[in-house]
Amino acid sequence: MGAPSRNPAVRTHAVYSLEDSGRRIALTFDDGPDPQYTPQVLRILAQYNVQATFCVIGENAVQYPQLLHDIANGGHAVANHSWTHPQLTKLKPAAARSELARTSDLIEKVLGAPPDWARAPYGDWNPVTLGICADLGMEPLGWSVDTNDWARPGTRSITNSVLRDVKDGSIVLCHDGGGNRSQTVAAVRNYLPRLLDSGFVPVRPEL
Protein backbone atom coordinates (compact mmCIF):
# COMPACT_ATOMS: atom_id res chain seq x y z
CA MET A 1 0.00 0.00 0.00
CA GLY A 2 1.18 3.51 -0.75
CA ALA A 3 1.64 6.12 1.94
CA PRO A 4 -1.68 7.03 3.57
CA SER A 5 -3.12 10.40 2.63
CA ARG A 6 -3.64 11.23 6.32
CA ASN A 7 -1.75 10.64 9.55
CA PRO A 8 -4.42 10.55 12.25
CA ALA A 9 -3.58 10.17 15.90
CA VAL A 10 -4.22 6.77 17.44
CA ARG A 11 -7.59 6.83 19.16
CA THR A 12 -8.39 5.04 22.38
CA HIS A 13 -11.80 4.01 21.03
CA ALA A 14 -13.94 4.29 17.93
CA VAL A 15 -16.04 7.33 17.03
CA TYR A 16 -19.53 6.57 18.33
CA SER A 17 -21.31 9.84 17.58
CA LEU A 18 -20.90 13.00 15.54
CA GLU A 19 -19.32 15.90 17.40
CA ASP A 20 -21.02 19.32 17.43
CA SER A 21 -23.70 17.69 15.39
CA GLY A 22 -26.72 19.91 15.73
CA ARG A 23 -29.40 17.79 14.08
CA ARG A 24 -26.92 15.87 11.96
CA ILE A 25 -26.83 12.07 12.05
CA ALA A 26 -24.91 9.44 10.09
CA LEU A 27 -26.55 6.49 8.35
CA THR A 28 -24.08 3.66 7.78
CA PHE A 29 -24.45 0.42 5.82
CA ASP A 30 -22.16 -2.58 6.36
CA ASP A 31 -21.15 -5.79 4.60
CA GLY A 32 -21.72 -4.75 0.98
CA PRO A 33 -21.53 -3.93 -1.73
CA ASP A 34 -24.33 -6.24 -2.78
CA PRO A 35 -25.63 -6.26 -6.37
CA GLN A 36 -29.24 -6.58 -5.27
CA TYR A 37 -29.60 -4.46 -2.16
CA THR A 38 -26.94 -1.74 -2.45
CA PRO A 39 -28.56 -0.20 -5.57
CA GLN A 40 -31.94 -0.20 -3.84
CA VAL A 41 -30.54 1.66 -0.84
CA LEU A 42 -28.76 4.10 -3.14
CA ARG A 43 -31.99 4.88 -4.98
CA ILE A 44 -33.81 5.69 -1.75
CA LEU A 45 -30.97 7.92 -0.54
CA ALA A 46 -30.93 9.70 -3.90
CA GLN A 47 -34.69 10.23 -3.76
CA TYR A 48 -34.26 12.22 -0.54
CA ASN A 49 -30.89 13.74 -1.49
CA VAL A 50 -29.07 12.55 1.62
CA GLN A 51 -25.61 11.12 2.18
CA ALA A 52 -24.55 7.93 3.95
CA THR A 53 -21.46 5.83 4.60
CA PHE A 54 -20.98 2.37 3.12
CA CYS A 55 -18.55 0.15 5.02
CA VAL A 56 -17.50 -2.35 2.36
CA ILE A 57 -15.96 -5.79 2.62
CA GLY A 58 -13.02 -6.21 0.27
CA GLU A 59 -13.96 -9.64 -1.05
CA ASN A 60 -17.36 -8.23 -2.06
CA ALA A 61 -16.04 -4.97 -3.43
CA VAL A 62 -13.53 -6.71 -5.69
CA GLN A 63 -16.43 -8.50 -7.39
CA TYR A 64 -18.52 -5.36 -7.87
CA PRO A 65 -16.19 -2.38 -8.41
CA GLN A 66 -18.90 -0.50 -10.31
CA LEU A 67 -20.94 -0.41 -7.12
CA LEU A 68 -18.08 1.42 -5.41
CA HIS A 69 -18.30 4.02 -8.18
CA ASP A 70 -22.07 4.18 -7.77
CA ILE A 71 -21.69 4.79 -4.04
CA ALA A 72 -19.04 7.49 -4.49
CA ASN A 73 -20.88 9.12 -7.40
CA GLY A 74 -23.92 9.42 -5.15
CA GLY A 75 -21.90 11.56 -2.76
CA HIS A 76 -21.54 8.85 -0.16
CA ALA A 77 -18.45 7.79 1.76
CA VAL A 78 -16.81 4.42 1.15
CA ALA A 79 -15.29 3.02 4.34
CA ASN A 80 -13.10 -0.02 5.02
CA HIS A 81 -14.81 -3.00 6.71
CA SER A 82 -11.90 -5.45 6.28
CA TRP A 83 -11.38 -8.00 3.52
CA THR A 84 -13.18 -11.09 4.87
CA HIS A 85 -15.03 -9.79 7.98
CA PRO A 86 -12.99 -11.53 10.70
CA GLN A 87 -12.81 -10.44 14.31
CA LEU A 88 -9.66 -8.39 13.95
CA THR A 89 -8.73 -8.60 17.63
CA LYS A 90 -8.48 -12.38 17.34
CA LEU A 91 -5.89 -12.15 14.57
CA LYS A 92 -2.16 -11.68 14.78
CA PRO A 93 -1.23 -8.04 14.12
CA ALA A 94 0.17 -8.79 10.65
CA ALA A 95 -3.04 -10.56 9.62
CA ALA A 96 -5.22 -7.74 10.97
CA ARG A 97 -3.12 -5.21 9.08
CA SER A 98 -3.48 -7.25 5.90
CA GLU A 99 -7.28 -7.35 6.26
CA LEU A 100 -7.45 -3.57 6.44
CA ALA A 101 -4.59 -2.70 4.10
CA ARG A 102 -5.80 -4.98 1.32
CA THR A 103 -9.24 -3.39 1.40
CA SER A 104 -7.82 0.13 1.46
CA ASP A 105 -5.63 -0.75 -1.53
CA LEU A 106 -8.66 -1.95 -3.46
CA ILE A 107 -10.72 1.13 -2.65
CA GLU A 108 -7.84 3.38 -3.67
CA LYS A 109 -7.33 1.43 -6.90
CA VAL A 110 -11.02 1.68 -7.85
CA LEU A 111 -11.82 5.20 -6.66
CA GLY A 112 -8.44 6.91 -6.79
CA ALA A 113 -8.28 7.69 -3.07
CA PRO A 114 -7.97 5.54 0.05
CA PRO A 115 -10.78 5.45 2.63
CA ASP A 116 -10.77 7.85 5.56
CA TRP A 117 -12.78 5.57 7.84
CA ALA A 118 -12.62 1.94 8.93
CA ARG A 119 -15.19 -0.08 10.82
CA ALA A 120 -14.00 -3.21 12.58
CA PRO A 121 -16.22 -6.25 12.08
CA TYR A 122 -18.46 -6.61 15.16
CA GLY A 123 -17.23 -3.18 16.24
CA ASP A 124 -14.35 -4.92 18.00
CA TRP A 125 -11.23 -2.77 18.34
CA ASN A 126 -8.29 -3.00 20.72
CA PRO A 127 -5.14 -0.88 21.11
CA VAL A 128 -3.26 -2.90 18.49
CA THR A 129 -5.93 -2.68 15.80
CA LEU A 130 -6.62 0.98 16.60
CA GLY A 131 -2.92 1.60 16.02
CA ILE A 132 -3.03 -0.25 12.71
CA CYS A 133 -6.08 1.75 11.68
CA ALA A 134 -4.32 5.04 12.35
CA ASP A 135 -1.11 3.86 10.70
CA LEU A 136 -3.11 3.14 7.53
CA GLY A 137 -4.50 6.69 7.59
CA MET A 138 -8.01 5.90 8.81
CA GLU A 139 -10.28 6.83 11.71
CA PRO A 140 -12.23 4.05 13.51
CA LEU A 141 -15.99 4.32 13.01
CA GLY A 142 -18.40 2.90 15.57
CA TRP A 143 -22.13 3.36 16.03
CA SER A 144 -24.62 4.48 18.66
CA VAL A 145 -27.84 3.04 17.21
CA ASP A 146 -27.86 -0.66 16.33
CA THR A 147 -30.90 -1.61 14.23
CA ASN A 148 -30.13 -5.33 14.62
CA ASP A 149 -31.20 -5.61 10.98
CA TRP A 150 -28.64 -8.33 10.28
CA ALA A 151 -30.90 -10.71 12.24
CA ARG A 152 -33.90 -9.82 10.06
CA PRO A 153 -36.22 -9.00 12.98
CA GLY A 154 -38.83 -7.50 10.64
CA THR A 155 -39.20 -4.19 8.85
CA ARG A 156 -41.27 -2.70 11.67
CA SER A 157 -38.67 -3.63 14.30
CA ILE A 158 -35.84 -2.06 12.28
CA THR A 159 -37.86 1.07 11.63
CA ASN A 160 -38.90 1.41 15.26
CA SER A 161 -35.35 0.96 16.54
CA VAL A 162 -34.21 3.93 14.46
CA LEU A 163 -37.12 6.22 15.24
CA ARG A 164 -36.99 5.32 18.95
CA ASP A 165 -33.24 5.58 19.54
CA VAL A 166 -31.89 8.19 17.13
CA LYS A 167 -30.87 11.54 18.58
CA ASP A 168 -28.64 14.43 17.60
CA GLY A 169 -25.28 13.06 16.49
CA SER A 170 -26.33 9.41 16.26
CA ILE A 171 -24.45 6.99 14.03
CA VAL A 172 -26.93 4.38 12.82
CA LEU A 173 -25.80 0.85 11.95
CA CYS A 174 -27.58 -0.93 9.08
CA HIS A 175 -26.54 -3.57 6.54
CA ASP A 176 -26.82 -3.57 2.75
CA GLY A 177 -24.98 -6.88 2.34
CA GLY A 178 -24.32 -10.19 4.03
CA GLY A 179 -27.68 -11.80 3.33
CA ASN A 180 -31.27 -10.97 2.46
CA ARG A 181 -31.56 -7.26 3.22
CA SER A 182 -35.06 -6.67 1.89
CA GLN A 183 -36.22 -5.76 5.41
CA THR A 184 -33.47 -3.16 5.67
CA VAL A 185 -34.41 -1.62 2.34
CA ALA A 186 -38.08 -1.43 3.34
CA ALA A 187 -37.14 0.05 6.72
CA VAL A 188 -34.97 2.76 5.14
CA ARG A 189 -37.87 3.63 2.87
CA ASN A 190 -40.06 3.94 5.99
CA TYR A 191 -37.83 5.75 8.43
CA LEU A 192 -35.86 8.12 6.21
CA PRO A 193 -38.70 10.53 5.35
CA ARG A 194 -39.82 10.48 8.98
CA LEU A 195 -36.32 11.37 10.17
CA LEU A 196 -36.22 14.24 7.70
CA ASP A 197 -39.65 15.45 8.80
CA SER A 198 -38.32 15.45 12.37
CA GLY A 199 -35.48 17.75 11.34
CA PHE A 200 -32.62 15.26 11.24
CA VAL A 201 -30.01 15.71 8.50
CA PRO A 202 -28.16 12.54 7.41
CA VAL A 203 -24.54 13.34 6.51
CA ARG A 204 -21.17 11.71 6.04
CA PRO A 205 -19.08 11.72 9.25
CA GLU A 206 -16.48 14.46 9.23
CA LEU A 207 -12.83 13.97 10.08
Please say if 81 is a catalytic residue.
Answer: no
With beta carbons less than 8 A apart as the criterion, state whether 142 and 96 touch. no
| Helix intervals (H) in 151-181 | 155-165
Q: Which of 91, 88, 34, 29 is nearest to 59 (CA)?
A: 34
Q: What string of DSSP letters covers 62-116? A: TT-HHHHHHHHHTT-EEEE--SS---GGGS-HHHHHHHHHHHHHHHHHHHSS--S
Please say if 69 is a catalytic residue.
Answer: no
Rounded Cα distance between 20 and 110, Å, is 32
Q: Which of 10, 53, 11 is nearest to 32 (CA)?
A: 53
The active-site residue out of 30, 34, 116, 149 is 30
The active-site residue out of 34, 116, 175, 176 is 175
List residues with catalytic annotation: 30, 175
